[in-house]
Structure 1
Amino acid sequence: MGRKHNNQLPENLPQLQNLIKRDPQSYYEEFMQQYQHLQNTIKVFYFSPQAPNKTLEDLMMFMAQIAHCYPKELKTFPEQVGSILQKYSTILDSNTRMTLCKALVLLRNKNLISPTDILELFFNLLKCQDRPLRKFLENHLITDIKNLNAKHKNDKLNTTLQNYMYMVLGGDTKAAKIALDIMVELYKKNIWNDARTVNVIGKVGCFSKNTKILVGSLKFFLGKDPEEESENSDSENEIDPKEVMMANKVNKKTRKREKQLTKAKKLAAKAYKKKSAAPSFNFSALHLIHDPQGMAEKLFQQLEMTNKRFEVKLMTLDVISRLIGLHNLFLFNFYPYILRFLQPHQREVTRMLQFCAQASHEQLPPDVLEPVLRKMADNFVTERNTSDVIAIGLNAMKEVCARCPLAMTEDLMRTLVDFKTHRERSVIMAARSLIQLFRNIRPEILHKKERGKPTEAMDEIESLNYGKVISSILRMNISRRLVPRVALELSP
């Protein structure tokens, strides 16, 4: 190496960094020059911390890159970087602040700083009005915690991190939203999938005054992934496999068209697999709630007092109804409240009917659900409505009765049976499905001619009484569509 080039080493940080990593001892003197330069630069920086400082940024990244080569000399370097960020976080230049955070991440990746120290600092930085920085910090925290639990779960460290994150969830709005996103993401990755995480989100997130945190917590319990909406919106832009295959047959074959054909086939196979797969719903979080009755009551009380938009009320109703059905809860005020929404012209009426079914279970007193069935019959299952509306009503009543058969009265059942001779096929099928349900679980409510031919299985069916658990009834899939797609608002 020439003398002239060697004299330029202190000014050429990337080259010096490379040489130091190869042979730290040989370039110790050059390192000390840069370290002293950094200390002098920091002293100058204190006079004007808000000004951009490219020299400081370069030196900080340089030291972070070679910190493992001189652990003794740079022992206090992480504390120095953290101190600058802690003291001047809100007034620092955005590029300087991002560079210092990246330097700390490098030090953390080299295990030169503890995860608890960097976690506390980064959560304080989430309050900064800097969206790219917040996104960077969120991604790092998720990745770091994931790596810490890669081989085995570090329960002691997880508890420490969780305790701090729970404190953040109830504090500053921006930091709380990031904390919620991190906990949800770690839950999905099966890292923090314990009851403690779920109950903190339930106790703090679901009752937050901030709408974003409230909605994020409700979506967590509903098992909804925000990425699904973007996938559905992008489906229109996907390549049509049939068009690509036809073009490949007609046009001249080229490498580009072959690649397009291969890609189209993979997309088609993936779409078919996704479409044919049975729908899965994440109820595990709801299973881990310690006090489902208390949570359902508080959510319902919050629902009655809230003036938030209709979509938030829908999500709250969804969570409450799932809690009731999953844990066999008693929340009698829920049913009169939802009756007001059981109108054919009501927005999202099929979801309202679904909530009624989700909130039904065999331990409910029959007289609690009788008004619900009567309301469905009066507003949906009448000749003045269209066939789609009647079919929706019959299918919804069937779903409720599958969970609480005693809610159906003989008079109402005989009225519904008459629709098996309706002119529209969708109504006929819905009525027959309801009749078949009661043939299997409660045939005595049907007229003799509707019970079908007697069989040995029917002889074994015992008469139902309130309080008796019906173990023979198979639970129907609550989340499948009640009817084929119809208009959003159904005219009566």
Structure 2
Amino acid sequence: MVRPNNNQLPENLPQLQNLIKRDPESYSDEFHIQYQHFLSLLEVFALNPGEENKSLDDIVMFIAQVAQCYPKVCEEFPKRLSDLLKNYATVLDPAMRNCFVKALILLRNKNLVPALDILELFFQLLRCPDKNLRTFLQTHIVTDIKNMNAKHKDMKLNSSLQAFMYSMLKDANPKAAKMSADIMIELYKKNIWNDAKTVNVIATVGCFSKVTKVLVTSLKFFLGHDEEEEESDSDSENEVDLKGALMANRVNKKTKKRQKQLAQIKKQAVKAQKKKKNAPAFNFSGIHLVHNPQGMAEGLFKQLQGSNERFEVKLMHLDVISRLIGIHELFLFGFYPYITRFLQPHQRQVTRVLQFAAQASHELVPGDIIEPILKTIANNFITERNSSDVMAIGLNATREICMRCPLAMGEDLLQDLAMYKTYKEKSVMMAARSLITLYREHLPALLHKKDRGRQTEAQAERKVRAYGEREVHDTVLGAEALLKDSKTIDIESDEDTDSNDGEWVNVTHSDGEGGPDVDDDDEEEDEDDEEEDDEEDEGNSDEEDSNSDEGVGSGEEADKTKKQKADLKILNQKEAAQELALTRIFTDEDFKRINAANLKKTVTSARKRPLEQDRAEFVKLNSIEMIYKKRKHDKESRLETVQAGRKDRERFGWKDGRVNENCSKTNREKRKTKNFGMLRHKARSKVKKSFKDKQQALRKHLLHQKKMK
């Protein structure tokens, strides 16, 4: 092969690098020369590693670029760089250290270095006092681990790295420990290390670290960010009233502005409808994966009591502890007297403290433990010496606590708070009525008779549970709705079932499932039976009326018999519904009918809308701070509304209606842009003349006419 005459090898390393990548065999001698030169430079550099060596920098990057062409020669090359970084990590010049790190990353990308060795080295380099290097290493570590787990998760490598990071979180260097915590949290958020081991390493080491930054980072990980709350807030702000806009457009005068507004509202409505149809995405918080939540809560509470950290860090402790107690239903009775000390209207971030008190409440906590919190809130917040906002916040916090632990409220305290339903301020009145509505659903006996309201079917069916009692359902709730017109199973007498032992029984099906229908004769017999039952009921009522004069005792006996019959009828319906649920697979249509029947029970003879009974895991701060009052707009909010109204609007000003905007303008338009000196004579003519000026002008005109004759 004839080599070109213009090469300057071996001084020109970029040219040599290009030639080696094209033809490695032809330039092996030149590479060996450069490699020997690297070894000699390395020995010289080891004598004084604190100085920058530009020649070594260039040759290291050159070898890293072409190392895949000569794997046997470069076998010890990564080890030499690693030894340099391990021995002189904090002494090396920053430029030389960055050069060695970039060379190792190049070798790692070419699979010339084992992943575990290089990642362990990079974790150790996090101790270096170089912020740019630490940020660069963090990005590479996360990207490298993500690429390794892209196709399938390498469990052996992941477990080894997690064990190494467990020790890094305990590192004496605060910067290295903080960066290790950041890397673990970022890998968890990217669903790479989203297992219980990562969560529990952060829970057992990070949350109890003596380094404040590591502690705060770990606590923030368990608090997370409320994505659902942010989405709901943005949805409520951007909620569109399409029906009202259509009605307004129909009634009001048709203008371009209103047409554009209507088109924009339609687009927003379509977008909101599409968002509702999308499948919900669930992202479980790491707090659910803690192995020992009771031990973690007790440890955090002990750490909080002996902590001298600033108030924001204490609030984080309270938030994590309250979430652990509420989600895992823990017992930590010392937490409630501790948080009571902060329940003052003048306390900083008091609404968040009230939020933590509500989050730490659940049904398994005895009412005697939480009752002092309710009394403290009532004495400090819900008094007329405070403002209406403070009173409303206190009532809202009381409602949120009682929603999770209804038995904590005493009868006297509840009736006193219910009297604020007629308060002059609307915010207090609405908060008190929401508390009354809550206890109408759960414990109406604690309210005054006038506050209990009209009982609904759902309230009648609901049983008052004692402390520690769980509600266990042995069938699908509301399955009785399918018994009214379904053709499923006939409840036969015991004699019929005995006669069918050992024989085939024909099981009919519901609508849409096929199978034979029930005979019309059977339906007629059922109707006749119902009519006979109605006649018997009428006869019984007549007998009751006739015997009403005989005494009160006979009336009470009749009421007992009526109640017994009603209870027996309900019991038979429940047994039939239970048998129906065990012998048949419900379809989507069946569940729609069941849901409709359950919804009907909540609104029958009561409110226009049902109360939301399912409590969320976390208490939203808006639930406590929500005050029914129309706020005044400040200057900033008014400017925001003004700027929002100017978007997608044509430029204001006078329009002449020309089709082509680039065509010539009228004299009237041109006059607006002319200099005043050009229009001064016209401005003078518009000035109103005096009588003397008019006489002189007329005389001049007449003289001019005589001369012309």
Give the TM-score taking structure 1 as reference length: 0.86
Query: CA, structure 1 residues 209+92, in 2 after alignment: closer, same or farther (shift >3 Å)?
Result: same
| TM superposition shift of 1:471 | 7.4
Please give the alpha-carbon distance, in whole angstroms, between the structure 1 residues aligned to 2:372 and 2:284: 28
Worse overlay, 121-130 or 181-190: 121-130
Give the corresponding residue for 1:186. 187
Q: How does 1:265-284 map to 2 (within 5 A)?
A: 284=285
Letter in 2 for 1:209: K
Query: CA, structure 1 residues 282+338, in 2 after alignment: closer, same or farther (shift >3 Å)?
Result: farther
Give the corresponding residue for 1:479. 620
Aligned residue pair count: 450
Q: Contact conserved, 2:358 with 2:619, CA < 8 A, in 1? A: yes
Give the corresponding residue for 2:72. 72
Structure index of larger Rg:
2
Give the corresponding residue for 2:546. none
| TM superposition shift of 1:425 | 1.4
Q: How does 1:115-126 map to 2 (within 5 A)?
A: 115-126=115-126
Q: How does 1:422-441 map to 2 (within 5 A)?
A: 422-441=423-442
Q: Contact conserved, 1:223 with 1:283, CA < 8 A, in 2? A: no
| TM superposition shift of 1:59 | 0.6
Please give the alpha-carbon distance, in whole angstroms, between the structure 2 residues aligned to 1:270 and 1:143: 35
Please give the alpha-carbon distance, in whole angstroms, between the structure 2 residues aligned to 1:203 and 1:485: 40
Please give the alpha-carbon distance, in whole angstroms, between the structure 1 residues aligned to 2:295 and 2:156: 30
Q: Contact conserved, 2:392 with 2:627, CA < 8 A, in 1? A: no
Q: Contact conserved, 1:170 with 1:204, CA < 8 A, in 2? A: yes
In percent, how many aligned pairs have the same letter? 61
Please give the alpha-carbon distance, in whole angstroms, between the structure 1 residues aligned to 2:352 and 2:165: 34
Please give the alpha-carbon distance, in whole angstroms, between the structure 1 residues aligned to 2:440 and 2:330: 28
* Structure 1 residues 40-93: Cα deviation after superposition (integer angstroms, max 9, x where no partner): 211221222111111111111111111111111101110011111111112111
* Structure 1 residues 350-375: Cα deviation after superposition (integer angstroms, max 9, x where no partner): 10000001000001101000001111
Please give the alpha-carbon distance, in whole angstroms, between the structure 1 residues aligned to 2:626 and 2:58: 62
What secondary structure, in the 3-state scheme, does the structure 2 residue paired with 1:324 have? Answer: helix
Give the corresponding residue for 1:365. 366
Structure 2 residue 294 is the aligned partner of structure 1 residue 296: no
Q: How does 1:343-382 map to 2 (within 5 A)?
A: 343-382=344-383
| TM superposition shift of 1:285 | 0.7
Please give the alpha-carbon distance, in whole angstroms, between the structure 1 residues aligned to 2:322 and 2:185: 22
Q: Contact conserved, 1:223 with 1:282, CA < 8 A, in 2? A: no
Query: CA, structure 1 residues 479+127, in 2 after alignment: closer, same or farther (shift >3 Å)?
Result: same
Please give the alpha-carbon distance, in whole angstroms, between the structure 2 residues aligned to 1:3 and 1:65: 23
Please give the alpha-carbon distance, in whole angstroms, between the structure 2 residues aligned to 1:470 and 1:286: 26
Q: Contact conserved, 2:352 with 2:621, CA < 8 A, in 1? A: no
Please give the alpha-carbon distance, in whole angstroms, between the structure 2 residues aligned to 1:211 and 1:279: 36
Give the corresponding residue for 1:42. 42
Give the corresponding residue for 2:144. 144
Please give the alpha-carbon distance, in whole angstroms, between the structure 1 residues aligned to 2:70 and 2:279: 56
Give the corresponding residue for 2:113. 113
| TM superposition shift of 1:2 | 7.1
Please give the alpha-carbon distance, in whole angstroms, between the structure 2 residues aligned to 1:391 and 1:278: 37
* Structure 1 residues 214-246: Cα deviation after superposition (integer angstroms, max 9, x where no partner): 000000000149xxx9xxxxxxxxxxxxxxxxx
Unaligned runs of 5+ in 2: 231-255, 257-269, 474-612, 629-709
| TM superposition shift of 1:15 | 2.1
Please give the alpha-carbon distance, in whole angstroms, between the structure 2 residues aligned to 1:398 and 1:294: 29
Please give the alpha-carbon distance, in whole angstroms, between the structure 2 residues aligned to 1:485 and 1:55: 70
Please give the alpha-carbon distance, in whole angstroms, between the structure 2 residues aligned to 1:4 and 1:38: 26
Please give the alpha-carbon distance, in whole angstroms, between the structure 2 residues aligned to 1:217 and 1:34: 49
Give the corresponding residue for 1:85. 85
Please give the alpha-carbon distance, in whole angstroms, between the structure 2 residues aligned to 1:12 and 1:113: 27
| TM superposition shift of 1:455 | 2.3
Please give the alpha-carbon distance, in whole angstroms, between the structure 2 residues aligned to 1:389 and 1:371: 19
Give the corresponding residue for 1:99. 99
Please give the alpha-carbon distance, in whole angstroms, between the structure 2 residues aligned to 1:431 and 1:148: 57
Give the corresponding residue for 2:404. 403
Give the corresponding residue for 1:442. 443
Query: CA, structure 1 residues 484+395, in 2 after alignment: closer, same or farther (shift >3 Å)?
Result: closer
Letter in 2 for 1:329: L
What secondary structure, in the 3-state scheme, does the structure 1 residue paired with 2:69 have? Answer: coil
| TM superposition shift of 1:139 | 1.1
* Structure 1 residues 405-425: Cα deviation after superposition (integer angstroms, max 9, x where no partner): 000111000111111111111
Give the corresponding residue for 1:209. 210
Please give the alpha-carbon distance, in whole angstroms, between the structure 2 residues aligned to 1:279 and 1:414: 41
Q: Contact conserved, 1:41 with 1:56, CA < 8 A, in 2? A: yes
Please give the alpha-carbon distance, in whole angstroms, between the structure 2 residues aligned to 1:280 and 1:43: 58
Structure 2 residue 19 is the aligned partner of structure 1 residue 55: no
Letter in 2 for 1:43: E
Please give the alpha-carbon distance, in whole angstroms, between the structure 2 residues aligned to 1:312 and 1:471: 41
Worse overlay, 117-126 or 56-65: 117-126
| TM superposition shift of 1:270 | 11
Q: Contact conserved, 2:142 with 2:187, CA < 8 A, in 1? A: yes
| TM superposition shift of 1:460 | 1.3
| TM superposition shift of 1:117 | 0.7
| TM superposition shift of 1:454 | 2.2
Q: Contact conserved, 1:222 with 1:283, CA < 8 A, in 2? A: no
Query: CA, structure 1 residues 154+90, in 2 after alignment: closer, same or farther (shift >3 Å)?
Result: same
Query: CA, structure 1 residues 270+12, in 2 after alignment: closer, same or farther (shift >3 Å)?
Result: farther
Structure 2 residue 146 is the aligned partner of structure 1 residue 5: no
| TM superposition shift of 1:282 | 6.1
| TM superposition shift of 1:280 | 9.6
Please give the alpha-carbon distance, in whole angstroms, between the structure 2 residues aligned to 1:344 and 1:174: 39
Unaligned runs of 5+ in 1: 230-248, 250-268, 487-492
Give the corresponding residue for 1:21. 21
* Structure 1 residues 131-181: Cα deviation after superposition (integer angstroms, max 9, x where no partner): 111111111111111111011111011011111111111123222111111
* Structure 1 residues 284-331: Cα deviation after superposition (integer angstroms, max 9, x where no partner): 311111111111001000100001000000000000000000000000
Q: Contact conserved, 1:442 with 1:464, CA < 8 A, in 2? A: no
Q: Contact conserved, 1:222 with 1:282, CA < 8 A, in 2? A: no
Please give the alpha-carbon distance, in whole angstroms, between the structure 1 residues aligned to 2:310 and 2:279: 32
Please give the alpha-carbon distance, in whole angstroms, between the structure 2 residues aligned to 1:278 and 1:301: 42
Give the corresponding residue for 2:318. 317
Give the corresponding residue for 2:453. 452
Query: CA, structure 1 residues 118+199, in 2 after alignment: closer, same or farther (shift >3 Å)?
Result: same
Q: How does 1:233-252 map to 2 (within 5 A)?
A: none
Please give the alpha-carbon distance, in whole angstroms, between the structure 1 residues aligned to 2:279 and 2:434: 22
Please give the alpha-carbon distance, in whole angstroms, between the structure 1 residues aligned to 2:279 and 2:380: 32
| TM superposition shift of 1:13 | 1.5
What secondary structure, in the 3-state scheme, does the structure 1 residue paired with 2:463 have? Answer: coil
Please give the alpha-carbon distance, in whole angstroms, between the structure 1 residues aligned to 2:437 and 2:393: 17
Letter in 2 for 1:363: L
Query: CA, structure 1 residues 39+19, in 2 after alignment: closer, same or farther (shift >3 Å)?
Result: same
Please give the alpha-carbon distance, in whole angstroms, between the structure 2 residues aligned to 1:471 and 1:383: 43
Please give the alpha-carbon distance, in whole angstroms, between the structure 2 residues aligned to 1:128 and 1:480: 42
Letter in 2 for 1:78: P
Q: Contact conserved, 2:351 with 2:621, CA < 8 A, in 1? A: no
Please give the alpha-carbon distance, in whole angstroms, between the structure 1 residues aligned to 2:427 and 2:280: 23
Query: CA, structure 1 residues 270+165, in 2 after alignment: closer, same or farther (shift >3 Å)?
Result: farther
Worse overlay, 132-141 or 91-100: 132-141
What secondary structure, in the 3-state scheme, does the structure 1 residue paired with 2:68 have? Answer: coil
| TM superposition shift of 1:3 | 4.6
Give the TM-score taking structure 2 as reference length: 0.60
| TM superposition shift of 1:4 | 4.1
Q: Contact conserved, 2:68 with 2:110, CA < 8 A, in 1? A: yes
What secondary structure, in the 3-state scheme, does the structure 2 residue paired with 1:9 have? Answer: coil
